[in-house]
Amino acid sequence: MTNYNIIGKRGIWLWISGILFVVFGLALILWRFKFGIDFTGGSLLEVKFAKERPGVSEVQTALADDKSVGNLGSLIVQPVGNQDMIIRFQESSEEKHLAVVNSLTKLAQSKTKDNTVEELRFDSVGPSIGQELKQKSVNAIFFVLLAILFYISYAFRKVSKPIASWKYGMAALIALFHDAIITMGVFSVLGKFYGMEINTTFVAAILTVIGYSVHDTIVVFDRIRENLPKSHLDFEGTVNMSLNQTLVRSINTSLTVLLTLVAITVFGGASIRAFALALTIGIAIGTYSSIFVASPMLVVWEKWRQKKAH
């Protein structure tokens, strides 16, 4: 069996992770997210033009000039596919919705006579709901973290030597923080430069990434847990051996999960594309961190403890 000295080069991996973490963490602090209407309140209207689709600026001027529409707050018009168009505005009342659809129909028919506008989707969210969703999401994340820390500490209660079982939990938590922050940071960058919005499903994606990251880390830790009592190597060597033993499995599993996720991202339709993309990025990073962050952290921790003892 091949034997890579992963732990020996832990400095390199931890530096890479550290830099990624800081860069995307900064992006997150600087740019935050581009929140979708789930969080900010507002309306999203997706329509399909049967014949010719008017241009973005045409739609913008038509809606701005139409007196029956009035003020929509901010207005974003975005063509999708060949015939569809997504229109976002801040106002969330039913009257505005109808007025916009009427205005679009008029515009469509001024271009081609028997053109029609089919309404594919309309979402509108009041601002208070958005606030509440944010709060709920934060609560959910907090409880997931807490529950996972408890579970790992419990699952690893029998291997308190040489390092305490709660440290496995902490190392797993650090790895998942790393995964979550980098994934969120990527979306912050995507939001800044490509206008990608996040909505409630993004929260689900982040939570799933957290769950998966831990899932993956536990498999590696489990091998360490199994090897520790019978290993002739020191702690560092045992961890490295365990990593090598699980390396193929970790990569294979992640590869299969990523295969299905890529399938969703590419073929799954527009509405869950961002969701699947978040999962894809998060799980790729989660796989990396379970090998190159979580386990090296255990060794670093142990070395530090030894040093302190002397």
Partner 1 sequence: MPNIFQSMFLSGGRAKVWRIFSLVILLLIVGLLIVGGGYYNRGADWIASKTGQAVKLPTVKETPFRLGLDLLGGTQLIYQADVSAVPGKDQPSAVEGVRDVIERRVNVFGVAEPNVQTNLSAGKYYVMVELAGIKDTAQAIKMIGETPLLEFKEQNTEKRQLTAEEKKGMDAFNKSASKKAEEVLGKVLSNGDFAALANQYSDDPANVDSSGNKKGGELGWISEQDNPELFKLAQKVPVGKTSTELSKTSIGYQLIKNEEKRTKTDPFNNQPQMEVKASHLLICYKDVSGCESGLDKEAAKAKIEQLKSKANKDNFAQLVKENSTEPGARDRAGDLGWFGRGKMVKVFEDAAFSQKVGTIEGPIESEFGYHLIYKQAERKIDEYRIRNILIKTQSESDIVGDQSDWKNTELTGKYMKRASVEFDPNDNSPTVALEFDQQGGELFAAITKRNVGKRVAIFLDGLSISEPTVNEEITGGKAVISGKFDIKEAKLLSQRLNAGALPVPITLVNQQSVGATLGQQSVNASFRAGLIGFALVALFMILFYRFPGVLAVGALAIYSVLVLAIFKLWPVTVTLSGIAGFIMSIGMAVDANVLIFARLKEELAFGKPFGAALEEAFRRAWPSIRDSNASTLITCFILIQFSTSVVKGFAITLAIGVLVSMFTAIFITRNFLKLIPESWLEKRPWLVGVNKH
Interacting residues with partner 1 between 37 and 66 (CB under 8 A): 46, 48
**Residue ranges in 137-176 that form contacts with partner 1 under rule CB under 8 A:** 137, 139-140, 143-144, 147-148, 151-152, 155
Q: Does 120 bind partner 1 (CB under 8 A)?
A: yes
Only one of the segments 71-79, 88-96, 182-190, 227-235 lies at the binding site for partner 1 (rule: CB under 8 A); that segment is 88-96
The one among 9, 132, 157, 229 contacting partner 1 by CB under 8 A: 132
**In the complex, minimum distance from the CB of residue 74 to partner 1, in angstroms, rounded to a whole number:** 19
The one among 114, 230, 267, 308 contacting partner 1 by CB under 8 A: 267
Among residues 7 and 203, whose Cβ is nearest to partner 1? 203
Q: Does 279 bind partner 1 (CB under 8 A)?
A: yes
Among residues 162 and 211, whose Cβ is nearest to partner 1? 211
**In the complex, minimum distance from the CB of residue 238 to partner 1, in angstroms, rounded to a whole number:** 16
Q: Does 124 bind partner 1 (CB under 8 A)?
A: yes
**In the complex, minimum distance from the CB of residue 142 to partner 1, in angstroms, rounded to a whole number:** 9
**Residue ranges in 187-226 that form contacts with partner 1 under rule CB under 8 A:** 200-201, 203-204, 207-208, 210-212, 214-216, 218-219, 222-223, 225-226
Q: Does 92 bind partner 1 (CB under 8 A)?
A: yes
Among residues 82 and 128, whose Cβ is nearest to partner 1? 128
The one among 19, 50, 64, 98 contacting partner 1 by CB under 8 A: 98
SS3 string, the chain, reads CCCCCCCCCHHHHHHHHHHHHHHHHHHHHHHCCCECHHHHCEEEEEEEECCCCCCHHHHHHHHHHCCCCCCCCCEEEEEECCCEEEEEECCCCHHHHHHHHHHHHHHHHHHCCCCCEEEEEEEEECHHHHHHHHHHHHHHHHHHHHHHHHHHHHHCCCCCCCCCHHHHHHHHHHHHHHHHHHHHHHHHHHHHHHCCCECHHHHHHHHHHHHHHHHHHHHHHHHHHHHHHHCCCCHHHHHHHHHHHHHHHHHHHHHHHHHHHHHHHHHCCHHHHHHHHHHHHHHHHHHHHHHHHHHHHHHHHHHHHHHHHC
**In the complex, minimum distance from the CB of residue 279 to partner 1, in angstroms, rounded to a whole number:** 7
**Per-residue contact flags (x/-) with partner 1 for residues 223 to 262, judged by CB under 8 A:** x-xx------------------xx-xx--xx-xxxxxxxx
The one among 162, 272, 300, 302 contacting partner 1 by CB under 8 A: 272
Angstrom distance (rounded) from CA 89 to CA 92 = 8
**Short-list 119, 128, 126, CA closest to 98:** 119
Q: What is the CA angle 82-87-89, rounded to 5?
A: 170
